[in-house]
Structure 1
């Protein structure tokens, strides 16, 4: 440790904050047998390191001392690890709250303070739902279920464990049990069914009580014939519920209410609900007080015990969907008598809240769409039978002011067309998506960069509803190719640890006996032969596993998926022909190619993505100690691709199908490391030359768009990449935004069928890594590279990201030839900082004594620095 300036300490004292269990703060109802614990280590000064930790787990916060911890004391463990640390005490008890804390030691073996305690609570674990049964019944509309029960004493704790398929709006004594919507999450119900734990302690009361549920169809009971055959899924059935309410009293007694034949059922006011067509609600059929004590349910029927879904029940661990914003229209226009169009000024996913005063029987229609044509909202979906698309209907009760919003469907829209009213309508947009946290903030003096960042963030969130989808308006499907190209940006922008963990489980559940994976996940069975095989799509499996390890250092995930992963890759490799992988999709939707695949030979990208997939699998195998020969398979694929498509004399990749030079065909092999070393400069130069010849326009579809700008920048053509990024004419992102876009679109053309599609918006990843200059290059942010390459056309940029180790930030500003660079490095991370400069002598580092001796590479002075806040000034940038 070098000498320290007065007043500075060598990274101590070291303390822990942001304690999480299984990536969550205070998770309620975890079914993980050995939950993983994590924290953020913090200390003043520079160069702080964690050398040891001690974890205590106790049954109450008062017992969290080394002398009295009654569940688990890890003892002092020599380790720098701050995440993924498994609970290693006695087997956990179901339905139990555990409290925990941690103490850290720094590089001088000094003890930090015990962290502020946190807790986690187990779910049902192996105890299950006991005598509870799945119940339902034949009713003509969305079923209402209720059960009256008595509470006879002071309640210490009450928990409701429940799963309603497809969705359940759960009530207790007239109130919602949570603010979650469209719950529980969508899965392959033949393999996994999610239940949710609700803390209802404050809702139960002494005396008479009622627990109730209204059930929606979701993807479990979807009925409209559609291209993806959700109406014919093997699990398709009428809605049903399983519930277990456990009430614990202060005197030690426990009573339970479980779903069985004693519950009552009737048809409710929701006449129909469908994820594609919308909902119809007849307020005249509403039953005020049905979910509260004192309601007479004698006219209701006894609930029937119904077949359980085949899937295994497990506690829902990913973030629920919530209403996160309410938006008023920016414009409301009467386009014809009795027909109004509301423009909410933003493209979103969610639904409309209606407030109305109208005579009984008045039908108010609400049609949702992303565009308007000839004054009318466009709501057309060729994939779903019938004329009704994204249309809700409310039938008024006629009893004064009435307020309603749907509960079992969501729509992709900016505009809503309202019909059936003579008076000016009162409508609000309700924005709803998986409630994942934003972890990154970005700013720049170049306004389009900020615009792209905000649009991509909004587009991703609009496509998170328990799974990562492709479009909330059209499909709502979990296309694997979309997540393949968008995954890194999603991980860089949002906390996707729990959401992607869940979806990776969906991928595994969707696997066929042969090992094959479908192109959408979950799947009804569609996507194994339909638009398949498409190698570039399901190879998301190893890629996303590796990206999760890179973002969160998650080794358990790698181990849990290894067997399924190897089965899948065996299926892919078995169909390789002459070193090539056949694919039917390819670089989907390049400019000018409408609704079809790219014009080039799809075996090129298919083979390239399989090459990257097997390399990812080789790395995963190394990380978890599983010997494999995937690198040999990768070399054979690279040889096959180069043999078939590389023109060595011209220094470019092409196929017999190409109508012209294809940027994706060249950017992807460069990005994946397939190009022979001696040809890399020529292939990169030809790519840059083509970009320039097109007036700095791209001709890439969804696969190439995310690789083009990083490849150009990495090979010294950052100026060309910048011109493409800031292009305003077709095809470009600027073209969209000049047309009024606020989200990313599916197609480059103005007639894009979806205007809420993230797979063409991966320019944001380039902005983060090359304009802001922050790149994560090792497991769990253990090592980062700071290198602002693409500085053309902007004078400043700032990014901060809350990682699993703590906050990383990079801020730079250039005035004339002087560049100021600020870098914040959390404990456990090492940063390689590349400062633009003409020579090392032109750069000043503060505090210089903590930085490595700089080297000089290609116009950058390079420092390696540990934890701390660093300042660099370059006088020759």
Structure 2
């Protein structure tokens, strides 16, 4: 391989090359502190402003232990040399084995199609975590010594653990490796460690236990030091009974801690502080904490200065050693949850009972921050909810969790000044906070909202002339954000569970609106961990044992596993996800195939929460179950042909078998459900069912001869219902796209803009700012994204940008949902760079104009709408813009990188 100083590798170097490396990433983040991935994947985005048809022909990556070593190019750990390739992401480090606890710096440069080389990119870095045998500490904590599951446990105050240590030499580097179950909050010398909350991420603790890595160099000082850790219960130590049995999973136990401080000195020595019997423990001021019930904090019991050196902990007890959880301890691969914003109240109202209700003006997930001045022992109660009772008090009730629910309690210390407090170990879904227990004197107390979530970046935008469409987009994004807490959840208020069906429907919006790769890759690991040896998956992931027999099988939910693997490749080009999950995915699909009855899939669920139904719909749910299994089989078979070396010698045979099974499912499906009237029905139908017809259209199950009649039946039923949908979560996700794709955009527009029940507008007429769980006005949850998938239609049909495959290596621009809209635009930052479309006109005499942006390394298939005649399309001149074909109402072009202008009229 040529070195960076080899003339052959450096010719034509200069700033005039058209390609620039504008963004780089390692494992889908800019810099990465603490990873145990053996071959981290590198990626970069390229800019070729003013160019068309630009491409990368080769790249060179170099890695060193310091930025200075990269600068001289002679002390590299690995230099790829000039690699002939168009790949710009998912490039694995391919040098010598990485050493633990080591920071690696890297950069890249690229060659364009003419052989001109770019400048080197900015230097980024990643740092490796502990080796698997690198832990010197033990799990410690309170409560009885026992297994990873302690059986039934009783609620005890959150424990405080501390340890003093001495540093006798200057510090060059210091790291804290820490896992507190379920949650930890650490302080060193009185200062908080990191910005994370509700950390580490939730997992099946019998399979995987995550730990975090913190750079604490700036917190350590010469001489005496102290570390203090508070532990929270989360799901690991939950004691509140609930229908999902989180209070008694197999890994249940009292909170415990594993931690290790490593402090490096200039002479190469290291100070090591690890969890052992020398740590001290006591009960802290957090008297109770529960994800469902809330927290009680007694400020009178807060030990001042307890995480500072010199604190008198003689009354504390030695921390007992606890048995380790069964799961493998791994460095946390995804973004930790954080407090991402503060929401000021818009109104405060007094209730007839004397409490005060704080209205934050919008629905969010998180908690409140209380500021209060009151006598010692005053108990301030904060009750959280998304809606109000008729008397104006907060609605915070559920049949799934008996007793106390979504309520925090703060016992004042009575210091004479302002006391400021916010919870640590439980988040809530809410818009309103009811405050009781304090005098209603102005200035004596105040409450603000604190938004808490996984801080995924927003990577796309959507705008259009229809203001209500923009409102729908904002509401869906807010709803998704409120349901990202280390896993994709179903509702931040009522369950906080990783329902697989919700994610199946929401993933296309999640991956378009936000940078969710790391979060979803982590959840894929949770899916794998939850799988039983026979291949079965539960309907919530992670699971503590609930969701297997309870609701099995349910392929509309659990086929999220193959669907998500396919989407990770489609959106992010993630070949590693395919390789890692191929075997468990096929084991799951084989489990489903073995359960077929009369050639059809069976399910315990269905088109959940259709109008008028509180759960499952009335029709034969084998229809949707078979459709989702059919889609999953074909998607998995596709992956076998797209990704080589799956470490499965039978991958081609498996793919062929899945295609055969899918064909057999299709035949059985149509024989059972396609009726003589030319549309789908089941023997249990109370009438026409929209979902039973739009889902087969969307999944390619309808025979060619029946597509017109099935579509016509759908349009007729919507008209008969006064322009309303009649779908639950499954049907809603595909109804509008199918109407648009099949030539009825005006019907889709009618559905999208309805203001009467059932519709999204019905919610917003009643003050909604998020998507609700149910169509009726008394919907249980008001932050539930699985009915808000209309946003996908906005991006893919109204604006018209659809992911194709291989990390947007190909994508489609087809604005076929333009009815009622004068203009629209959207853009997304893909793994290759920005893709986008904006269009206007096309109504009346005004010509249709569309601009399309294609990143380097991608190709777009652009569908330009034309009138009923032959149509004329003007395209910005370039030999690489190729006319492909004519479809009904569209002329189709294929274009490479660049900005392209199309005019039709």
TM-score, scaled relative to structure 2: 0.94
Q: Hey, what's the Cα distance between the residues in 1 that align with 2:28 and 2:132?
A: 22
1:784 is aligned, of 799, 811, 821, to: 811
Partner residue in 1 for 2:724: 697
Q: Name the SS for the 1:324 alignment partner.
A: strand
1:405 is aligned, of 407, 418, 422, to: 422
Q: Greater CA deviation, 571-580 or 854-863?
A: 854-863
The answer to whether the 8 Å contact 2:15/2:118 transfers is no
Deviations 1:27-76 (A, max 9, x none): 10011011111000222311100011111001111111584143101111
Cα distance 1:403–1:66, how it changes in 2: closer, same or farther (>3 A)? Answer: closer
Which stretches in structure 2 are left out of the alignment for 5+ residues? 1-13, 144-154, 645-650
Shift of 1:121: 0.5
Partner residue in 1 for 2:10: none
Shift of 1:514: 1.7
> Are 1:635 and 2:655 an aligned pair?
no
> Are 1:116 and 2:122 an aligned pair?
yes
2:859 is aligned, of 827, 830, 833, to: 830
The answer to whether the 8 Å contact 1:840/1:861 transfers is no
Shift of 1:859: 2.3
Partner residue in 1 for 2:48: 43
2:90 is aligned, of 81, 84, 104, to: 84
Shift of 1:654: 0.4
2:361 is aligned, of 318, 326, 345, to: 345
The answer to whether the 8 Å contact 1:840/1:854 transfers is no
The answer to whether the 8 Å contact 2:539/2:547 transfers is yes
1:218 is aligned, of 234, 252, 262, to: 234
1:869 is aligned, of 899, 902, 905, to: 899
Partner residue in 1 for 2:887: 857
The answer to whether the 8 Å contact 1:276/1:384 transfers is yes
> Are 1:559 and 2:575 an aligned pair?
no
Partner residue in 2 for 1:473: 493
Partner residue in 2 for 1:579: 599
Deviations 1:74-109 (A, max 9, x none): 111111000111111111001100000111011011
> Are 1:751 and 2:806 an aligned pair?
no
The answer to whether the 8 Å contact 1:452/1:764 transfers is yes
Deviations 1:247-295 (A, max 9, x none): 0112322111101000111100000000000000000000111011121
Q: Name the SS for the 1:777 alignment partner.
A: strand
Partner residue in 2 for 1:420: 437
Q: Name the SS for the 1:486 alignment partner.
A: helix
Q: Greater CA deviation, 561-570 or 472-481?
A: 561-570
Q: Name the SS for the 1:450 alignment partner.
A: helix
Q: Name the SS for the 2:449 alignment partner.
A: strand
* Alignment: residue pair count: 863
Q: Hey, what's the Cα distance between the residues in 2 that align with 1:747 and 1:423?
A: 36
The answer to whether the 8 Å contact 2:190/2:308 transfers is yes
Shift of 1:21: 0.7
The answer to whether the 8 Å contact 2:17/2:117 transfers is no
Q: Hey, what's the Cα distance between the residues in 2 that align with 1:412 and 1:235?
A: 27
Q: Hey, what's the Cα distance between the residues in 2 that align with 1:153 and 1:632?
A: 69
Shift of 1:337: 5.4
Cα distance 1:77–1:427, how it changes in 2: closer, same or farther (>3 A)? Answer: same
Q: Name the SS for the 1:115 alignment partner.
A: coil
The answer to whether the 8 Å contact 2:204/2:543 transfers is yes
Q: Name the SS for the 1:537 alignment partner.
A: helix
Shift of 1:733: 0.5
RMSD of equivalent CA atoms: 1.5
TM-score, scaled relative to structure 1: 0.97
Q: Hey, what's the Cα distance between the residues in 2 that align with 1:290 and 1:311?
A: 32
2:570 is aligned, of 535, 546, 550, to: 550
Q: Hey, what's the Cα distance between the residues in 1 that align with 2:622 and 2:720?
A: 26
The answer to whether the 8 Å contact 1:56/1:69 transfers is no
Cα distance 1:856–1:614, how it changes in 2: closer, same or farther (>3 A)? Answer: closer
Partner residue in 2 for 1:132: 137
Deviations 1:809-843 (A, max 9, x none): 11112275222211111001111112222367643
1:183 is aligned, of 199, 203, 226, to: 199
Runs of 4+ in 1 over 6 A off after TM superposition: none
2:764 is aligned, of 718, 737, 740, to: 737
1:271 is aligned, of 284, 287, 297, to: 287
Q: Hey, what's the Cα distance between the residues in 2 that align with 1:873 and 1:754?
A: 45
The answer to whether the 8 Å contact 1:667/1:711 transfers is yes
1:644 is aligned, of 672, 681, 685, to: 672
The answer to whether the 8 Å contact 2:333/2:518 transfers is yes
> Are 1:618 and 2:637 an aligned pair?
yes
Q: Hey, what's the Cα distance between the residues in 1 that align with 2:16 and 2:901?
A: 18
Partner residue in 1 for 2:184: 168
Q: Hey, what's the Cα distance between the residues in 1 that align with 2:622 and 2:156?
A: 50
Task: Show the 5 A alignment for 1:671-820.
Answer: 671-814=698-841, 816-820=845-849
The answer to whether the 8 Å contact 1:11/1:48 transfers is no
Shift of 1:317: 1.1
> Are 1:355 and 2:371 an aligned pair?
yes
Deviations 1:607-635 (A, max 9, x none): 11111111111112222342111101111
Q: Hey, what's the Cα distance between the residues in 1 that align with 2:703 and 2:720?
A: 25
> Are 1:17 and 2:36 an aligned pair?
no
Partner residue in 2 for 1:429: 449
Partner residue in 1 for 2:163: 147
Q: Greater CA deviation, 832-841 or 143-152?
A: 832-841
Q: Hey, what's the Cα distance between the residues in 2 that align with 1:841 and 1:741?
A: 43
Q: Hey, what's the Cα distance between the residues in 2 that align with 1:562 and 1:859?
A: 40
Task: Show the 5 A alignment for 1:217-616.
Answer: 217-336=233-352, 338-373=354-389, 374-386=391-403, 388-399=404-415, 400-424=417-441, 425-594=445-614, 596-616=615-635
Q: Hey, what's the Cα distance between the residues in 1 that align with 2:474 and 2:613?
A: 27
Deviations 1:492-518 (A, max 9, x none): 111110000000100010011221000
Q: Hey, what's the Cα distance between the residues in 2 that align with 1:89 and 1:705?
A: 49
The answer to whether the 8 Å contact 1:840/1:856 transfers is no
Q: Hey, what's the Cα distance between the residues in 1 that align with 2:585 and 2:810?
A: 27
Cα distance 1:521–1:598, how it changes in 2: closer, same or farther (>3 A)? Answer: same
Q: Hey, what's the Cα distance between the residues in 1 that align with 2:828 and 2:613?
A: 37
Q: Greater CA deviation, 351-360 or 721-730?
A: 721-730
Q: Hey, what's the Cα distance between the residues in 2 that align with 1:785 and 1:847?
A: 20
Shift of 1:128: 3.0
Deviations 1:452-488 (A, max 9, x none): 1000000011011001000011000000000011111
Which stretches in structure 1 are left out of the alignment for 5+ residues? 1-8
Q: Hey, what's the Cα distance between the residues in 2 that align with 1:668 and 1:679?
A: 14
Shift of 1:13: 2.7
The answer to whether the 8 Å contact 2:15/2:119 transfers is no
Shift of 1:447: 0.7
Partner residue in 1 for 2:149: none
Q: Name the SS for the 1:230 alignment partner.
A: coil
